[in-house]
Chain A
C-alpha cells in the first residue's frame, strides 16, 4: 500500500530534523530544487501559471486512475525546492485526500515564512490551487 499524505509529511519532517541550521536546510532545498525535473515548456502556459510578483510558479494537474498527479516548476530555485516538496506530499493521491489534507509539514520544517502572502512567491496560491483541483476533480 502506498504512503498516505501524512506519512510523506512525517518523513520530510524527519529528514529536516537532521539539519541543524538554515544553511543545511537551504542547501538541501536548493539541491532538491535542482534535482527536480523541469516542467516541459508546453505546460508553462498562462493557465498553469500561478501569479506571485517575485517568483513564477507553474502547476500542471493530471488525473490518472482516479488519482491526481501534479507537475510543477518555478523560476527561483528555493521556490522550486518547496514546490517540489508540496508535489511530493500531494501528488498521486485521490482528489478527496488532496482537498482534505492538512499541510503541517511546512511549519514543522520552519519554512512557513515562504508561505506568507508578503513573500509574493506564488506558493500560497499554489497550495490553494492544488486543493481547488482536488475539489474540482472530486466533483467529476
Chain B
C-alpha cells in the first residue's frame, strides 16, 4: 500500500509553519521527529480530563491513568514483540536507558579486565556511559572500526568480540551516516562468545519492524521523540532473567515493596527500574504515536522513505563538489554531506534562512568525524511526511549556499 503523503502532512500541524517567511522544510528528523495532532491531543486530553498520579490511588482518576499507562506498556510489548510486558521499562529516552544498563548490569556483571565492544559509529550516548563504567571498573572499551563507506567489517567484529567480552553495545542505525548494522550477525557473534548485546535503536524504531524475540537481543533501547512521540519518553527492553538479576537503578517511590530502616525490599519488574513519578502523559501519548505509525504500516513507511533516500542521494550526488559521507549498501534515510571547501555551519545558516532545517556539526558522534578527518557534516534526514518536492527545495538551497559561499 502506498501512503497518502498530503493527508499525512495534514496530520502534522508544524509542517504548515512559516520560518523567516518561508515554508518550513523540515529535514532534521534524525535529531527529532515532529508530532501528529493525535499525539498532541492525547497529551492535552490526559491533562485536561484524566490526570492524577498513577500506581497509588484508589480513586477513579488514578486508576484511569494507571490503566492507560500500563496499556502502553502492553502496546510496546506487542510493537517490539517482547515475551512479557514486564520486560518493557519506561525511561526518559535512549540515553537514560543505556545509562541504566551501564549502572546496573555493568556494575554487577562487568569487572576488571572484562571487555565491552561498541562500534566506531556510535552516538556519544553509547560511548560515554561505557567509558565512565570502564573508568570505575577498570574494564576495557573496544570498538569495531569504520570502513570507508561507513559500514563495519564482520571479520573485525569476529576478532574483537571474544570470550573476554561481557557486553556488545551497538547502534542499529548510525545517526551520523545512516548505516544499518547487521545486528542479527552481531547478536550471534556476541552470544557465541557468551556476551550480552544491547541494541541502540534510536534511529531504527521509526523505520523498521522490530521483533526482539527473533533478534534474540538482550537489551533493546529507543526514544519516544524519534518515533513521533513526546520528548522525555523512552523504552528499555531487557530479557526477563537478566533484568531480574540486575540491581535497581534509582531508589525511591514505586520501585519498592516495603521500606523500613532495617532494610528495603525492592519491587518486581518492571517497577524495580521505575522509581518516582514518571512522564505519565508523555508515555500515554507515546502509545498514540506508536499506533499512528502502526496504522500507516511500518513497511509502507520504510518503502516510501527508501524511495525518498534514493531520490535525494541521486539529486545530491549530481551537485558538483558535494561529497556524501556514509555510502554503505544498507542505509536508512539519512544523508551526511559536505560541499568542497565550505564549512558545514555556513551551509546550515544559508539553508536556515531559506526555511530548510538540517543538522550541521558532529551529530554527537565525534569519533565518526575523526575517522573521516572532518570537523562535521551537514545532515539531511527524512521522514514519511517529507516529499520529493522538499528534496528539490533542499537541492536548490544547497546550490544557492554553494554560490554564496564559494
Contacts and interface: CB of A to CB of B under 8 A. Distances in A.
B47 interface: no
A75 interface: yes
B238 interface: no
A55 B343 CA distance: 8
A77 B360 CA distance: 15
A9 interface: no
A26 interface: yes
Given A54-B376, A75-B375, A26 B345 contact: no
B349 A78 contact: yes
A26 B354 CA distance: 12
B353 A78 contact: no
15 contacts: A22-B353, A23-B404, A26-B349, A26-B350, A30-B346, A30-B404, A53-B361, A54-B344, A54-B345, A55-B343, A75-B375, A76-B343, A77-B342, A78-B345, A121-B345
B8 interface: no
A112 to B, nearest CB: 14
Interface string A65-92: 0000000000111110000000000000
Contacts of A121: 345
A96 interface: no
Which 9 pairs of residues, A with B, have the shortest CB-CB distance? A76-B343, A76-B345, A55-B345, A22-B353, A54-B345, A54-B361, A78-B346, A76-B346, A78-B349
B226 interface: no
Interface in A25-39: 26-27, 30
A120 B349 CA distance: 13
Interface in A10-55: 22-23, 26-27, 30, 53-55
Contacts of B350: 26, 78
Nearest to A27: B404
Interface in A92-140: 114, 120-121
B52 to A, nearest CB: 35
B373 interface: no
B367 to A, nearest CB: 14
B405 interface: yes
Contacts, number: 42
Interface residues of B, number: 17
Contacts of B345: 54-55, 76, 78-79, 121
Given A76-B346, A77-B343, A26 B376 contact: no
Contacts of B405: 30, 77
Contacts of B73: none
B125 to A, nearest CB: 15
B346 to A, nearest CB: 5
B404 A26 contact: yes
A75 B405 CA distance: 13
A56 B375 contact: yes
Contacts of B361: 53-54, 120
Contacts of B360: 54
B159 interface: no
Interface centre among B342, B346, B350, B362 (most CB of A within 10 A): B346
A121 to B, nearest CB: 6
Nearest to A79: B345
A79 B350 CA distance: 12
Nearest to A119: B345
B20 interface: yes
Contacts of B342: 77
A26 B353 contact: yes
B20 A22 contact: yes
A105 B350 CA distance: 21
Contacts of A114: 349
A113 to B, nearest CB: 9
Contacts of A23: 353, 404
Interface centre among B343, B344, B361, B405 (most CB of A within 10 A): B343
Contacts of B353: 22-23, 26
Interface string B29-53: 0000000000000000000000000
A122 B362 CA distance: 15
Interface in B306-356: 342-346, 348-350, 353
Interface in B368-406: 375-376, 404-405
Interface centre among A23, A54, A77, A121 (most CB of B within 10 A): A54
B175 to A, nearest CB: 15
A120 B366 CA distance: 15
B346 A77 contact: yes
B343 A75 contact: yes
A76 B350 CA distance: 12
